[in-house]
Amino acid sequence: MFTGIIEALGEIEKVEQEGTNYHFTIGTDISKELKIDQSVSHNGVCLTVVKCDKKTHTVTAIKETLDRTSLGSWKVGKKVNLERAMRADARLDGHFVQGHVDTIGKCVEILDEDGSWYFKFEYQPTEEHLLVDKGSVCINGVSLTVVNPTEPYFSVAIIPYTYENTIFHQLKVGDIVNLEFDVIGKYIAKYVRLYMK
């Protein structure tokens, strides 16, 4: 479980393919604090550390993960948002994030508001992909507040700190992002479908 509050940026140093799996080696300051078998969110995708040293760690993405996320397009030099799993005694500053990406979205517009930015995304709505105005959504691992959801679009407002300390400062129109919708909303949607027919 994660909070969507990014701890660090990492840079992909090596990509290796083994069958249908991809092994990503990432360089970051927090690698020295990681242990094998730990869960770490990489752009919102929960991945298990399989190797680590003082400067890098390696994670493996299987075909299921590659099919559902943007990881299949990752190349050496790409920056990624990183967050370690939340501690039970820590404050929940974002929202409950599982690291289980629901779908991908596409950035279709970026508005510079002279001190903040609006990013607009297009996605494929379904009954489970619920968005409400001022509700929560996780984009590339970042916990954000939904602005003006009008299917199949929604926006988020980004403050300068988030812009500089996540990969939002590198995001461009046309880029693909990982989306995780609010888990509470997903449970409510399933309950309504099953029991309110």
Q: Quote the CA–CA distance of 148 and 131 in Å, as a whole number.
A: 9
Task: Indicate the domain borders of the chain.
Answer: 8-84, 103-195
Average pLDDT for runs of 10 along the chain of length 197: 95 97 97 96 98 97 96 97 90 86 97 96 87 94 95 96 97 97 82 74
Asked if omega into 152 is within 30° of 0 (cis), the reply is: yes
Read off the pLDDT of residues 15-36 as tens digits, 9 standing for 90 and up.
Answer: 999 999 999 999 999 999 999 9
C-alpha closest to that of 104 among 78, 131, 66: 66
Count how many Cα atoms sit within 13 Å of the Cα of residue 1 in the half-sphere of its side chain.
13
Structural fold of domain 8-84? Elongation Factor Tu (Ef-tu); domain 3 (2.40.30)
Model pTM? 0.91
Instruction: Please name every residue paired with 137 in a beta bridge, in sequence order, or none if there are none.
Output: 144, 181
DSSP track, 59-94: EEE-HHHHHHSSGGG--TT-EEEEEEPPPTTS---S
CATH architecture of 103-195: Beta Barrel (2.40)
